[in-house]
A and B are shown apart, each in its own frame.
Chain A
Amino acid sequence: MFTRNEQCDTAAVSRNLVELVRRTHLSSAPTALEVLKAAVEEHGEITDEDRRAAAAASGLPEAAVYGVTSFYDDLLVVRGARHVRVCTGTACFAATGGSHVDALREGLGLELGERSDDGSVSLAETVCLGFCHASPAVRDGEVIDAAEGVVERVLSGATRAALEPEWVSMLDEGVLTRPGDWSGLTHALGVHTPESLLAQVKAATVRGRGGAGFPAGDKWSFARASPGEQKFIVANGDEGDPGSYIDKYLMERNPELVLEGMALAGYAVGADHGFILTRSEYPLSKPALEQAIANAHAAGMLGSDIGGSGFSFDVTVLEGAGSYVVGEETALLACIEGLRGTVSARPPFPAVRGLYGLPTVVNNTETLANIPFIARSGAEAYAALSPGASTGSKLVCFNERFARPGVYEVRFGTPMRELCEELAGGMRDGGKIKALQIGGPLGGILPASQLDVPFDFEPLAKLGCMVGHGGIVGFDERTDMRELTRHLLRFGAHESCGKCFPCRIGLRRAHDMFDAGQEVDRRRLEELLETLELGSLCAHGSGMPAPIRSLLAHFPDELGLA
């Protein structure tokens, strides 16, 4: 039995399973998830034979492998020879109200998740493809098509690859849009000790760009202080927020900058290996990163004894399999280990017990992309990027409802109105902004009347909103706010990892309150939102009430409340 002192050691799945996975990892075996992903790519569905093979290859028990196959969207859906995935993200909802999904279902004669009897075609939903600038988006095999007419093109077999707008920096000189050239790492290895680099990053107050806003320097300090020879850097590229395509741009257009940030984190923390988890919904991210890693090896910027400094660092790229909650840091680590992507209670924090039970820094990819500038130019220059506001710059992106959607690098503190009207050109076709959802599905809804708020952590928080990851989804006046509520709760309930009870059951009940067209008992809804917010284990369950509360506050007449 275990002593009391060990009770703080909480279990992701079970203590022994994690230890088992750690030992197998040391033998360089593939994870169960990697084997299963390959199987579904190869023959369109997972069989018990595949599960047994994944168990044998990975060392995971058969039951645990079954658990993995029942968790990830990509492993649950059967695929035909032609596999069509329709995006049901929030930007696509804002564009069509969901009519593109119905049109595709009718046109193909298939329900979501269904495969035709002859196996020739299958239809699935996916959230989200990151083509929010050209919604609605559909992935037909390996080709992602988007924008008006996409359904007709898919149905007539004329799918074409959608183009992406160039990103634009509003800074005098781009920081995150500047192509990574390893100059930050080269400089740091020449002039900084790990301690002095860490001090610069702490002084720069880099708040996490993934949503939570936790200072990266503090995470690094905790991991550096944790005892242990082997530590890891994990870049979170699982940008699951519907309506965001910021990390997509970073990983596919500027992978060197992300890798350089990881190497700098490794130098400061004392880690010689990093992992980056990309999304299967972004099929180009993993190849782009792998190419950049190969180039970096050739240039001597990754690998052993980088630039003769004695510092060694390498990166492994892994791809997820369809789960929003895997973006939560403990679930992310479980996914990298090839397990079910469920959340673990913290403490212990990953900085103490992370990947394979070892001290781990988990940072969002954009957070890491800030580090090369700090390494090169220092904390003061970093703070000067956004005078009088939070330090550094931020990538934001706009959805298709705007006249000029795309990714922009902006200064913190810029009024939301300036971002929406001057940068993004306001709503297209002369439409008016009804509301915005900023920062992902857990972000509050900002009504048009509050657009003068500065884009920054504290001012947005005061209005029940957040910077989050920086996705800005605009809704025009056609948007049915009750349908939006239902859309958000459907996503929330579908993506709940199923571990903590309030989220697992409560989000389903909240969705059902809006589902059937009946009146919604406001008092009971508010009780349920309190249960979710205060009771849930992670930000998914505790964050979903934020947009619902905004909708209750600003659009009560449209929600069908009793």
Chain B
Amino acid sequence: MHLTIDGHTVEVEPETTILTALRQAGANVPTLCFDERQAAFGACRVCLVGVEGAPGPLPACTTPCRDGMVVDTHDETSRRVATAIVELVLSELPVAPAPHTELATIARSLGVVAPRWPGATHPVDHDTRHPYLAFQHELCISCGRCVRACDEVQGAFALTATGRGFTANITAGLDSGFLESTCVSCGACADTCPTDAITENTLLAL
């Protein structure tokens, strides 16, 4: 099937998502909860794009392409909403994410500097008992990438989403930390984490 992305015609296989199609076409939109090694999740809503005829912005990661679809990655409403979402995400962290992280990079690209939302942030909570993996829960944005990496890539099922609403977070095992969970220390969670909430302790740091 054919679709138009930012004015260019692209040919894709049936059931391709808009995100895959636009990346194939050399276009891009930012994403936070997407990892191409995992099933799409549709949680961060930062990959919103304009689609001709749609009542509002659509998430590129979970929307399948249709023949003749006209996609605009620069759609003003979509970018405005995505930017506002990234600002909300920064506002839940008690400290700014490290400059090299995906979250910080995307915030910079969207021109979000300091969030204008005063109020509650995630409580600081560190789990550093594991020899190779450290978890700074206050940096977690519940994108679920670590849970899916653990379940889908490693098959260890050591991680879970916890809580709901603003208190949502991620934890290992029975909230007992990596050490007392079924974690096999593969590091897939740290590898995919976009905020450094989960990091691998380097040999130097040991």
Whether A504 and B38, one on each chain, are in contact in the complex, defined by CB atoms closer than 8 angstroms, is no
**Is chain A's binding surface mostly helix, strand, loop or mixed?**
helix
Whether B171 and A66, one on each chain, are in contact in the complex, defined by CB atoms closer than 8 angstroms, is yes
Whether A5 and B16, one on each chain, are in contact in the complex, defined by CB atoms closer than 8 angstroms, is yes
**A342 → chain B, closest Cβ, in Å?**
7
Whether B165 and A537, one on each chain, are in contact in the complex, defined by CB atoms closer than 8 angstroms, is no
- 1/0 contact string of B119-138 vs chain A (CB within 8 Å): 11000000000000000000
Whether A63 and B159, one on each chain, are in contact in the complex, defined by CB atoms closer than 8 angstroms, is yes
* Chain B residues closer than 8 Å to A10, beta-carbon distance: 39-42, 62
A17-B151, A504-B168, A506-B88 known; A62-B174 Cβ under 8 A: yes
In the complex, residue of chain B having the shortest beta-carbon distance to the beta carbon of A344:
B42
Whether B165 and A493, one on each chain, are in contact in the complex, defined by CB atoms closer than 8 angstroms, is yes
Whether B57 and A535, one on each chain, are in contact in the complex, defined by CB atoms closer than 8 angstroms, is yes
Of the residues A65, A499, A505, contact of B92 by C-beta under 8 Å: A505
| A494→B165 CA distance, assembly (Å) | 6
**A283 → chain B, closest Cβ, in Å?**
23
A61-B157, A66-B174, A505-B89 known; A7-B20 Cβ under 8 A: yes
Of the residues B14, B77, B82, B141, contact of A5 by C-beta under 8 Å: B14
| A493→B78 CA distance, assembly (Å) | 23
- 1/0 contact string of B4-42 vs chain A (CB within 8 Å): 000000000111110110000000000010000111111
Interface size class of A (residues with CB under 8 A): 35 or more
Which of A62, A344, A497, A524 has most chain B Cβ within 10 Å?
Answer: A62
Interface residues in A172-230 (C-beta closer than 8 Å to B): none
Whether B64 and A4, one on each chain, are in contact in the complex, defined by CB atoms closer than 8 angstroms, is no
Interface stretch of the complex, out of B43-51, B94-102, B104-112, B197-205: B43-51
B52 in the interface (beta carbon within 8 A) = no
Whether B164 and A496, one on each chain, are in contact in the complex, defined by CB atoms closer than 8 angstroms, is yes
**B86 → chain A, closest Cβ, in Å?**
9
Whether B45 and A535, one on each chain, are in contact in the complex, defined by CB atoms closer than 8 angstroms, is yes
Whether B162 and A67, one on each chain, are in contact in the complex, defined by CB atoms closer than 8 angstroms, is yes
* Chain B residues closer than 8 Å to A509, beta-carbon distance: 88, 91, 117, 119
| A8→B15 CA distance, assembly (Å) | 6
Interface residues in B66-92 (C-beta closer than 8 Å to A): 77, 80-82, 84-85, 88-89, 91-92
Which of A9, A65, A340, A345 has most chain B Cβ within 10 Å?
Answer: A345
In the complex, residue of chain B having the shortest beta-carbon distance to the beta carbon of A508:
B166
* Chain B residues closer than 8 Å to A2, beta-carbon distance: 37, 39
* Chain A residues closer than 8 Å to B32, beta-carbon distance: 501
Of the residues A9, A63, A502, A507, contact of B173 by C-beta under 8 Å: A63
Whether B16 and A61, one on each chain, are in contact in the complex, defined by CB atoms closer than 8 angstroms, is no
Whether A501 and B120, one on each chain, are in contact in the complex, defined by CB atoms closer than 8 angstroms, is no
- 1/0 contact string of B142-153 vs chain A (CB within 8 Å): 101001101110
**A6 → chain B, closest Cβ, in Å?**
8
Interface residues in A10-51 (C-beta closer than 8 Å to B): 10-11, 13-17, 20, 48, 51
Whether B171 and A531, one on each chain, are in contact in the complex, defined by CB atoms closer than 8 angstroms, is no
B residues within 8 Å of A by Cβ? Answer: 13-17, 19-20, 32, 37-46, 48, 56-57, 59, 62, 64, 77, 80-82, 84-85, 88-89, 91-92, 116-117, 119-120, 141-142, 144, 147-148, 150-152, 155, 157-168, 171-175, 181-182
Of all A-B residue pairs in the complex, the 6 with the closest CB atoms, nearest first, are A345-B42, A498-B168, A67-B160, A61-B157, A14-B151, A11-B39
A residues within 8 Å of B by Cβ? Answer: 1-2, 4-11, 13-17, 20, 48, 51-52, 61-67, 70-71, 323, 340, 342, 344-347, 493-502, 504-509, 512, 524, 527-528, 530-531, 533-537
A selection of 26 A-B contacts at a CB cut-off of 8 Å is A1-B37, A5-B13, A6-B39, A10-B62, A11-B40, A14-B144, A14-B147, A62-B181, A62-B182, A65-B174, A70-B162, A70-B163, A71-B164, A498-B161, A498-B164, A501-B89, A501-B142, A504-B168, A509-B117, A509-B119, A527-B84, A530-B84, A531-B85, A531-B88, A533-B56, A534-B57
